[in-house]
Amino acid sequence: MYESSICVKSPGKLILLGEYAVLEHAPALVTAVDRHCVVKISPLYNSTFQIRTKNLKLPEIQFTLDADGDAHFRNPLPQKTETQFRFVLSMLKYITMRNGKIPGASIEIDTAPFYHKTTGHKFGLGSSAALTVSLLSALMEYLNKHIEQEDLYREAFLAHRHAQGKLGSGTDIAASVTGGVMSYTMPDSIDKLNGQVKSLLWPEDLHMITVWAGYAASTRSFVSNVNVFRDQHPHQYDAIMKNMMELSTDGAAAFEAGDTAAFLEIARDFEKQEQLLGQKSDTEIISDVHQEISGMVQSVGGTYKPSGAGGGDIGVAFCKDPSTAEKIKHVINESMFDVMDLNMYPKGMEVVHTTEVD
């Protein structure tokens, strides 16, 4: 056991292009962003675990873990509280199954940057993936088990699926582990766990403005709706997805080549395919609020699309020059929507510090 306090931070993610198509193994463009989940672990010497969530209004919980990683609480938890902590408890069980019994620890979790300060809505920035990477990394340090970046991606991908169910492409895990902006292709099968990550350079003349559309959306329900459409209307689904996959591939190539004009055109075409996919699957991917924001952005010369599953949540506006970027910010700030101060973050998971415990 590591005889110190360990603090780890991992960035969130923002998908720039390739939503839905990435689930069919097309490359997605994704960037790590400067919002972090911070996990701090300190030793406790009586085999007890305690979890504190710095920003969430959840009670501190205390428990022990048995050899199988199952939690035993000193006092029975209300069902709501147990549900709220289920993800972290599933992570602890997974790590115990893979690495053996974990010594008692105090675990502090801070995900405040992933929530709107006023409304408390959670942003679609991959908070659960950032938490997975931070918690896994901190616990491996705590167990004195060094983990290489490639192994961290694989283990975090597995742990995330264990805790959440077999859902998702792994883009958010890749961004939290690797940092920077990348082209990401999900694994071909569950047996090949590491997706393809290709780090890229941000084009010098590509400007990004992120917009909070005002409410959170359920990625799980949106993907589920699209999957129902796929199963019931395979030919229509395949036609739309073929276009989306080609646009994702071409968009990643244009981004890598620094061809901003081509990338902007592809992003516009991709949004149209998202609109069609939403209409056919009866899913509000390009919702009324996204259409409203898109109209405002286009009116001043920019390009706009949702980031992630769509609905509400976050959208990204792109343009080729700083004056247009300022116009986009102005028109959004004059509306009911919010410009988010999000930037590409060049680093992945970082061990921030370790401090000797008296």
DSSP assignments along 305-318, one per residue:
EESSS-SSSEEEEE
Per domain, the residue ranges of the chain are: 4-201+345-356, 207-340
Please tell me the predicted confidence (pLDDT) of residue 137. Answer: 94
Give the pairing type, strands 49-53 and 28-43: unpaired
* Mean pLDDT in residue range 223-245: 95
Share of the chain above pLDDT 70, in %: 94
With CA atoms as reference, report the closest residue to 173 among 32, 313, 17, 23. 32
* Mean pLDDT in residue range 82-102: 87
Please tell me the predicted confidence (pLDDT) of residue 28. Answer: 97
| Helical segments of the chain, H only | 79-84, 86-99, 127-142, 149-164, 171-178, 219-232, 234-257, 260-281, 288-299, 322-333
C-alpha distances (whole Å) from 189 to each of 18, 32, 193, 195, 301 are 19, 24, 7, 10, 41
Higher pLDDT, 257 or 67: 257
Q: Is it the case that residue 210 has pLDDT exceeding 90?
A: yes
* Mean pLDDT in residue range 207-225: 84
Are 136 and 159 in contact by the 8 Å Cβ rule? The answer is yes
Please tell me the predicted confidence (pLDDT) of residue 194. Answer: 67
Are 357 and 6 in contact by the 8 Å Cβ rule? The answer is no
Please tell me the predicted confidence (pLDDT) of residue 35. Answer: 96
* Mean pLDDT in residue range 69-74: 89
* Mean pLDDT in residue range 183-190: 82
Q: Is it the case that residue 90 has pLDDT exceeding 50?
A: yes
* Mean pLDDT in residue range 317-339: 96
Please tell me the predicted confidence (pLDDT) of residue 335. Answer: 93
With CA atoms as reference, report the closest residue to 213 among 78, 67, 340. 340
Class of domain 4-201+345-356: alpha beta
Q: What is the DSSP letter of 210?
A: E
C-alpha distances (whole Å) from 138 to each of 8, 39, 70, 86, 170 are 6, 7, 19, 19, 20
Q: Is it the case that residue 358 has pLDDT exceeding 50?
A: no
Tokens 């408390």 correspond to 120
Q: Is it the case that residue 251 has pLDDT exceeding 70?
A: yes
Strand order in the sheet with 207-212: 303-306, 314-319, 207-212, 338-340
Share of the chain above pLDDT 90, in %: 65
Please tell me the predicted confidence (pLDDT) of residue 120. Answer: 82
Q: How far apart are CA 296 and CA 290, in angstroms?
A: 10
Instruction: Express each pLDDT in 123-173 by its tens digit.
Output: 989 999 999 999 999 999 999 888 888 889 888 988 888 777 666 788 999
CATH of domain 207-340: 3.30.70.890
Instruction: Express each pLDDT in 42-53 by its tens digit.
Output: 998 778 999 988
Q: How far apart are CA 271 and CA 303, in angstroms?
A: 9
Q: What is the DSSP letter of 281?
A: H
Q: Is it the case that residue 357 has pLDDT exceeding 60?
A: no
Please tell me the predicted confidence (pLDDT) of residue 317. Answer: 98
* Mean pLDDT in residue range 181-203: 84
Q: Is it the case that residue 180 has pLDDT exceeding 80?
A: yes
Instruction: Express each pLDDT in 257-313 by its tens digit.
Output: 999 999 999 999 999 999 999 999 999 899 899 999 999 999 999 999 999 878 778
Band (pLDDT 50/70/90 cuts) for residue 355 is low
Q: Which of 79-93, 253-267, 269-283, 313-327 has the lowest mean pLDDT?
A: 79-93
Q: How far apart are CA 329 and CA 212, in angstroms?
A: 12
Average pLDDT, the chain: 90
Q: Which of 19-23, 200-204, 221-225, 269-273 has the lowest mean pLDDT?
A: 221-225
